[in-house]
Structure 1
Amino acid sequence: MALAQYSELFWFPSGALASSVVARVFQHETNTLATLYADGAGTTPLANPLSTSGTGRLEFWVEEGRYWVHIDSEAFEIAVGAAAQAATQQDILDEITRADATYATILVVNNLTGTVTTLSGQVTSLDGFVADALARVSAIEQGTAFLAGLNVDGDAQIANGDLTITNFVRGYRFRTGGAANDVEGTGGDLIISVWSGTGFNGTQHSYFRLSADAQNLQVAGKVEFVDALYGATRHVLDGAANTVGLYGATPVTRQTVTGSRADGTALTDLIDKLTDTGIVADGTSAGIANAWLRRDLPDPLIADSLHTGTAPSISTAQTTTPTAGYIKYAPAGVALTGTDVTGPFSYMGAGNFAIGAGAPDTNYVLPLSKYPNTYASGQGIWSVEFGTDAQIIQVRMKYISAATMFRLSIDGRKVTDLMQSSGGTTPGSGHLISIDFGSATPRRIRLDFSTFPFGGVYIPPTATLWGVPAQGGRLMVLGDSISDGSSQNTGAGAGTWFARAARFLGTTDAWEQGRGGTGYITAGSFATFATRLAADVVAWAPDRLIVWGGYNDSSGDQGAIATAAAALYASIRAGLPSCQTYVIGCWSPTGSPGAGVTNTDTTLRTAAAAAGFPFISPVTGSCYDAAGALVTTHGAWITAANAAAYVGGDAIHPTDAGHVYLSRRITAAVRALMPA
């Protein structure tokens, strides 16, 4: 058997290549399909019918000879190999007739010449492939059959119906037949996700899960609520990070509220945490955690009363050698030797205690909490408290001058009304003040100091010494020489109205932070209030603050005073948001104050009201609340009738009696402004 290859291109009448068209190859003058091969050796049979290639080429191997090729309703006689011989026109017509009789039944043919251009009448039978195609199209239209696949290049539209995608177990549909446009799922949860790639590949990000078995929606990842698509983010719920941020706040994790409900710190922290999440905007004012209340103040009849027990015996000796066997309770920072111990002293009225740089000052402490905040010229007014059951105590001091003074109080009652001399002799030398109480019994001891370097306390070895807490919170005054004292009164700052008013107001930790000659715009020999505020006041966090100044500014520009006062009060608000602050106006040492005094008083009252601080006027005795509303008027503090009794020979500063009087007037005014 000699095989030869047939390979030709076929075209449609339109000129297009007849690609992938079914062809049948028959033995010449028979209806028997020829045996075809894919190779010249005849080892690989080829199906018959077969199809043209994608480029319209019909190609096969067959025995040499003549054959008929039927393709697209056309018949072609071909010769393959050496036996090739052209077919006559009659041969072609005969082959068409034979093929039609074998593969189709044509009842009526109106016009069939060459290419069929017209086919009319009733078609009762067609080629099986065409019939099958028609049957499938009909089934699809009737909804009883399905396309195995579908690719659409361009827009697709489904009119007057719903789009359902299903495998008959699970599915979803886009439905327009209801009252709204619905996206529905069936047979399982509905997941909405997006792939990062361009062909449903890459990373799949799943965002929504709609449960099939319950009305439940799950959202995965971060949800941003925006003002418009791709616009500014307003709220964030981040499930992956477990954070929340509302109204533009940075998302935060679940917040833990700390603090105490009793003192208000828990509420403050709650507001802070809610603000962090963005749920609220904090527009609250700080408020006072432990506000002064009139009902909590001590009885004024006994608050400033004298000790009524047996008067102690007090003597001073220029020595640093205690009674033999006594134990030294040294201030913290002083070096210990032998049986010395560090005493559990409660320092009040000052802070930042330090020893001096060299001997003998390394044995003594002084506070550095008042301008200019140095050991030698810092704060001279302060107190120490402790408890002891000793009958005799020996207090070590370094004598400076006649200004080195002290006042002893026993169980809250002062032994002397005014500061008393320390009894020192040689300036710069160490001394021991021996105090004999007459019996060994537990007592609370307080020592108020003025220019008094403190070296500790010695007690008998059989006695004990313990610490005691301060009472009534921390009260502070930021002021001038009316608070800091002058030559017109005893004991400098320890002998002014402030220490006595502190006792009336139930405060043992009273900080006198006045400096003579200073004010809102006047520095004097020291610094203005604003300059001193941070280090002398804010750093020590008072619970209550009285600001009293203005007299040294009264000859200055009222605009400058107003600006300085507003700035000072704002700094107090910012630095001490929970501090209960009172402002006292301009001091007037006469019954006929000048315009500078009255104008300064008015300027300060206006600034205090703007800052939300209560105000007390020495000029009129009027008391104004934090809103600037008049609460009460007690009358001018200094009048023509009492000036001689209360103002010293310099016609400015109060005397000892004047300070007693002022402590009563100021206490009455503060009490009037307190909540009941």
Structure 2
Amino acid sequence: MKRIYLICAISLLISCGKSGSGELTSPEPVVVADPVLLKLRSALKFSKEFAVWGETLITYNERINDQTSSITDGVLIAGNDVKFKYLNVKSVINHPNLAGYVIPQSTDYGVGDLKNVLANVASVEFLFSGSRFDALIFGYGSDFSIGNIQVEIDGKFTNISGYQYPPTNDGRPHYLNFEFKTVAVKRRIKIVYSGIRLFGGIVTDKNAVVEAVVPDNNLKLLVFGDSFTAGTGAENQFNKYLAYRVGDLLGFDNTIISGVGGTGYVNPNLSNVRKVFQQRITDITDAKPDAVIIAGGINDLGLAQPDEFAAITLLFLQTVSNALPNTEIFVTGPWWGSGVGYPQAHANAIQKSAAAVKRTHYIDVSTWITGNGSITSKNGSGNSDLYISSDKIHPSIAGHDYLARKLAAEIRKVIE
């Protein structure tokens, strides 16, 4: 009897592995989701569109000639207080001579005329319960004569273009006063400012409460490149930068921006004052991002033959990949300010290099700009009339947004 049961069991087991025609079939493969892509996919639910509260929410006053706060009996919460969370930078360090101030760091510009520029964009975030505060910005640096600051409240910016204030490179503190029309129980505040400035904290009323923000997802995106990444053409509206916008659209909690104008894979620009991509690779590796976007090549034309250029880009991408094996890498072809004369040979070299590096995805941007006009020289030949700035190279404010949306859509295809 036991033998009969055994034979029946074997027959049943064999029949389970047969198709209807009696042929043996393999079990369906189990698809295991890539943990890195799963992590990036989790950020997408935090995707954020640019939104504006409206001018009536707050009033703004810049006390340019007064080095004291408008809140005379207020409390200073220094910039290095743990209640402040810094974003868009890989790190902040305490200023060696100015107590309470922090220096944002994300971009290794090199030496020379830009030695004081330490970050393209910096922002600080905190929870605030109260009616008013003064943000303390120190005049530091030499490359921008006009300051600009954007303020985001509960995920929405207070106005479209931000607030401009007079020169702040005078070595003095400047108190930027924000006063709410209504008092809310708790608001999530984000101050976005030029990385050439130093943030010294905020002054509040004694009964105001400042708390640390609990991050949405703690995921970091690093955008690395040239002047397109640095925001040229966006008129110091930092929250409109291509790099800043793509991070918001993909839902990253922290988008670190590392862009140096005029540079590339082989071009250091300014008589070797700045650095080629390989020389500032620590901008990427030190930040340890969950994903990185690398965009360059426009400044490298005529400096290397395609085969040599391919070898240089391959070395760079391979170095990033080896240092960050669990980071997803997205690399674009060269940005271009026209639909004419695209440097396809350089783009092909970058694409070839990307294909040879694990976790690296090439994004073709060659057809995104059409025509050869600009916002000041419209000729009806294509979308360049709207998306290219007056210099006929860099994107306009609308162009930064357009390119960010196109780029985010392509990255979504990989993540999803």
Q: Percent identity?
A: 23
> What RMSD in Å do the two structures reach over aligned CA positions?
2.6
* SS of residue paired to 2:175: strand
Counterpart residue number, 1:136: none
Deviation at 1:562, TM superposition (A): 0.5
Counterpart residue number, 1:297: 44
For residues 237 and 105 of structure 2, the distance between their equivalents in structure 1, rounded to whole angstroms, comes to 18
Counterpart residue number, 2:261: 516
Deviation at 1:493, TM superposition (A): 5.6
For residues 508 and 641 of structure 1, the distance between their equivalents in structure 2, rounded to whole angstroms, comes to 35
1:667 is the counterpart of 2:413: no
> Equivalent residues in 2 for 1:470-509 (5 A)?
470-472=215-217, 473-486=219-232, 488-491=233-236, 495-509=240-254
Q: Which moved more, 1:544-553 or 1:309-318?
A: 309-318
Deviation at 1:522, TM superposition (A): 1.2
Counterpart residue number, 1:448: 192
Q: From the superposition, tell whether residues 510 and 554 of structure 1 become closer, same or farther in structure 2 (CA, over 3 Å).
A: same
* SS of residue paired to 2:392: coil
* SS of residue paired to 2:36: coil
Q: From the superposition, tell whether residues 492 and 456 of structure 1 become closer, same or farther in structure 2 (CA, over 3 Å).
A: same
Deviation at 1:349, TM superposition (A): 1.2
Q: From the superposition, tell whether residues 413 and 330 of structure 1 become closer, same or farther in structure 2 (CA, over 3 Å).
A: same
Counterpart residue number, 2:398: 657
Counterpart residue number, 1:560: 308
Counterpart residue number, 2:355: 609
> Equivalent residues in 2 for 1:235-250 (5 A)?
none
Query: Contact 1:637 / 1:665 at 8 angstroms: preserved in 2?
Result: no
The TM-score with structure 1 as length reference comes to: 0.50
* SS of residue paired to 1:537: helix
For residues 388 and 413 of structure 1, the distance between their equivalents in structure 2, rounded to whole angstroms, comes to 15
Query: Contact 1:393 / 1:436 at 8 angstroms: preserved in 2?
Result: yes
Where structure 1 has 5 or more consecutive residues not aligned to the other structure, the ranges are: 1-285, 333-341, 621-635
Aligned residues: 360
* SS of residue paired to 1:546: strand
Counterpart residue number, 1:437: 180
Counterpart residue number, 2:369: 637
For residues 309 and 238 of structure 2, the distance between their equivalents in structure 1, rounded to whole angstroms, comes to 25
User: 2:57 is aligned with what amino acid?
Assistant: A
Query: Contact 2:294 / 2:331 at 8 angstroms: preserved in 1?
Result: yes
1:392 is the counterpart of 2:392: no
Counterpart residue number, 2:76: 328
Counterpart residue number, 1:364: 101
> Equivalent residues in 2 for 1:452-467 (5 A)?
452-467=197-212
> Equivalent residues in 2 for 1:277-426 (5 A)?
288=36, 290-293=38-41, 297-298=44-45, 303-307=49-53, 310-318=56-64, 319-322=66-69, 323-332=71-80, 342-358=81-97, 361-362=98-99, 364-372=101-109, 376-400=116-140, 401-423=144-166
Counterpart residue number, 1:262: none
Deviation at 1:499, TM superposition (A): 1.0
Deviation at 1:647, TM superposition (A): 1.2
Query: Contact 2:128 / 2:211 at 8 angstroms: preserved in 1?
Result: yes
Structure 1 or 2: larger helix share? 2
For residues 198 and 110 of structure 2, the distance between their equivalents in structure 1, rounded to whole angstroms, comes to 15
Q: Which moved more, 1:398-407 or 1:435-444?
A: 398-407
> Equivalent residues in 2 for 1:78-97 (5 A)?
none
* SS of residue paired to 2:39: coil
User: 1:567 is aligned with what amino acid?
Assistant: L
Bigger radius of gyration, 1 or 2? 1
Task: Encode CA deviations 1:337-380: one digit per residue, 9 max, x unaligned.
Answer: xxxxx35100111143234444xx45532223320479823114
The TM-score with structure 2 as length reference comes to: 0.80
* SS of residue paired to 1:673: helix
For residues 565 and 661 of structure 1, the distance between their equivalents in structure 2, rounded to whole angstroms, comes to 26
Deviation at 1:476, TM superposition (A): 0.7
Q: From the superposition, tell whether residues 479 and 663 of structure 1 become closer, same or farther in structure 2 (CA, over 3 Å).
A: same
* SS of residue paired to 1:591: coil
* SS of residue paired to 2:256: strand
* SS of residue paired to 1:292: helix
For CA contacts below 8 A with separation 6 or more, give which structure has more relative contact order.
Answer: 2
User: 1:348 is aligned with what amino acid?
Assistant: L
Where structure 2 has 5 or more consecutive residues not aligned to the other structure, the ranges are: 1-33, 372-380
Task: Encode CA deviations 1:109-134: one digit per residue, 9 max, x unaligned.
Answer: xxxxxxxxxxxxxxxxxxxxxxxxxx
Deviation at 1:312, TM superposition (A): 0.8
Task: Encode CA deviations 1:7-37: one digit per residue, 9 max, x unaligned.
Answer: xxxxxxxxxxxxxxxxxxxxxxxxxxxxxxx
Q: Which moved more, 1:361-370 or 1:344-353?
A: 361-370
* SS of residue paired to 1:614: strand
Query: Contact 1:353 / 1:368 at 8 angstroms: preserved in 2?
Result: yes
Deviation at 1:582, TM superposition (A): 0.6
* SS of residue paired to 2:223: strand
Query: Contact 2:138 / 2:171 at 8 angstroms: preserved in 1?
Result: yes
Q: 2:387 aligns with which of 624, 640, 646?
A: 646
User: 2:223 is aligned with what amino acid?
Assistant: V
* SS of residue paired to 1:385: strand
* SS of residue paired to 2:160: coil
Q: From the superposition, tell whether residues 458 and 505 of structure 1 become closer, same or farther in structure 2 (CA, over 3 Å).
A: same
Query: Contact 2:104 / 2:198 at 8 angstroms: preserved in 1?
Result: no
Task: Encode CA deviations 1:532-562: one digit per residue, 9 max, x unaligned.
Answer: 112x110110011100111111323212211
User: 2:267 is aligned with what amino acid?
Assistant: T
For residues 151 and 191 of structure 2, the distance between their equivalents in structure 1, rounded to whole angstroms, comes to 5
Task: Encode CA deviations 1:604-636: one digit per residue, 9 max, x unaligned.
Answer: 11111111311111104xxxxxxxxxxxxxxx3
* SS of residue paired to 1:669: helix
Deviation at 1:492, TM superposition (A): 6.6
User: 1:366 is aligned with what amino acid?
Assistant: I
